Chain A
Amino acid sequence: MNEQAFTATIDKDQRIEPRDWMPDGYRKTMIRQIAQHAHSEIIGMQPEGAWITRAPSLRRKAILLAKVQDEAGHGLYLYSAAETLGADRGDLTRRLIEGRQKYSSIFNYPTLTFADVGVIGWLVDGAAICNQVPLCRSSFGPYARAMIRICKEESFHQRQGYELLMTMMRGTEAQRAMVQDAVDRWWWPSLMMFGPPDAESPNTAQSMAWKIKRHTNDELRQRFVDMSVPQAEALGVTLPDPDLRWNAEREHHDFGEIDWSELKRVISGDGPMNAERLANRRRADEDGAWVREAAAAHAAKRREATARERQEVPA
């Protein structure tokens, strides 16, 4: 296979598979995209994981535990996809904990109350779904297949969050205030999840040509805003944007200017939780090292024992 065959495959909307010829840039971009996505899932376990022991009922604990386990699973599906391109899982983890590869800026915000768990499910996972559904048609086969599995599971995540919030909204005045406060804090960071505006996203054109990105950042952001407005209404909360209103001419909601300097700050490592998130991941890696080594030593010993038995008893 060569460049011509690669281009023809993309043009026919068929998938590129790991052993096909591909341009170096495509391979590098795919590894970076998949690794950053995998890192986001793994780091994304922390904000909600912090609430597992403090969830208010056994049912909510079980739900949260299942959800955080799913995030771990999503990370592993994605590392698996990255490995088909010759990336090495251990190396990718090292890049993450040394700060050489990024993860989604959203996980650098703190989860202050239990309402944050609900709002993360509703808004953060909702934004993730907006981003991910088109990626089920990514031109890179293993990534597209991982995304299909992930999207099926994300739907549970979003619904449990919204249901949690509905329950709190039926509660006391203090609980309703807690939900509104969480919405106020998470709304703008959720909009930033779609990345910089199209005018400042220089790689978008190439990614669209390679069909590893199907819509621009601003298109997806608009879709998310339009989806969220009626959901906020049904819930009885106010989205914290005085400029948010329906534009009959565009048939979309207009919304206020996003504070892009905040996104830049958080991405470059200066968000409220960046240091703690990475420190936790680093510690988990270090604390788990002896387990990984012991398991490998045990497996090697068993392999030797089996080989010896085979030698002693010739077939």
Chain B
Amino acid sequence: MSGEVKHEWPLFEVFVRAKRGLNHVHVGSLRAADHEMALHHARDLYTRRNEGVSIWVVRSDDVVASGPDDKDAFFAPSGDKVYRHPTHYAIPDSVPHI
């Protein structure tokens, strides 16, 4: 063993579709030499008990994410855009199905 940290395989993020009709959901990560091996490992690691019907794997270094500090710019509720919400519009109770 050499004393150096030698990174064998890159990191992949794994997404699993639990059943037809649902979105793929992030379940964790794993190490693999390439995408094909990552899929096989994902099957062994994350779907041993009918957890899914479809798997995506994505190289972790290809993921671009917003940071916690971006919160205001990205996610602050747009208080000045109340017209985006259905409750902004007054409709008489007598009007059905709306």
Q: Which residues of A are at the interface with B, using a C-beta cutoff of 8 A?
A: 1, 17, 19-21, 69-70, 73, 76-77, 80-81, 83-84, 88-91, 94, 142, 145-146, 153, 285-286, 292-293, 295-296, 298-299, 302-303
Q: Please determine whether B69 and A299 come into contact, CB atoms closer than 8 angstroms.
A: no
Across-interface contacts of A299 in B (CB, < 8 A): 33-34, 37
Chain B minimum-CB-distance residue to A288: B8
| Distance (whole angstroms) from the CB of B50 to the closest CB of chain A | 12
Q: Please determine whether B69 and A1 come into contact, CB atoms closer than 8 angstroms.
A: yes
Q: Please determine whether B9 and A295 come into contact, CB atoms closer than 8 angstroms.
A: yes
Binding site secondary structure of chain A: helix
Q: Please determine whether A76 and B30 come into contact, CB atoms closer than 8 angstroms.
A: yes
Chain B minimum-CB-distance residue to A295: B33
B88 at the A/B interface (Cβ < 8 Å)?
no
Q: Please determine whether A90 and B28 come into contact, CB atoms closer than 8 angstroms.
A: no
How many angstroms between the C-alpha atoms of A285 and B29 in the bound complex?
20
| Distance (whole angstroms) from the CB of A84 to the closest CB of chain B | 8
Q: Please determine whether B33 and A298 come into contact, CB atoms closer than 8 angstroms.
A: yes
Q: Which residues of B are at the interface with A, using a C-beta cutoff of 8 A?
A: 1, 5-9, 11, 28-31, 33-34, 37, 44-45, 48-49, 65, 67-69
How many angstroms between the C-alpha atoms of A292 and B1 in the bound complex?
14
Partner of B5, one of A19, A21, A70, A94: A94
Given contacts A77-B28, A80-B28, A295-B37, contact A1 B5 (CB under 8 A): no
Given contacts A146-B28, A295-B9, A299-B33, contact A76 B45 (CB under 8 A): yes
User: What are 23 A-B interface contacts by the 8 Å CB criterion?
Assistant: A1-B69, A17-B68, A19-B65, A19-B67, A21-B68, A73-B44, A77-B45, A83-B29, A88-B7, A89-B31, A90-B5, A91-B5, A94-B1, A142-B28, A286-B1, A292-B33, A293-B8, A295-B37, A296-B9, A298-B34, A299-B34, A302-B34, A303-B34
Q: Please determine whether B8 and A90 come into contact, CB atoms closer than 8 angstroms.
A: yes
Across-interface contacts of B44 in A (CB, < 8 A): 73
How many angstroms between the C-alpha atoms of A83 and B11 in the bound complex?
9
Q: A69-B48, A83-B29 are in contact. List 16 more A-B contacts (CB 8 A).
A: A1-B69, A73-B45, A76-B45, A77-B28, A77-B45, A80-B28, A80-B30, A84-B29, A89-B31, A91-B5, A142-B28, A146-B28, A286-B1, A292-B8, A292-B9, A295-B37
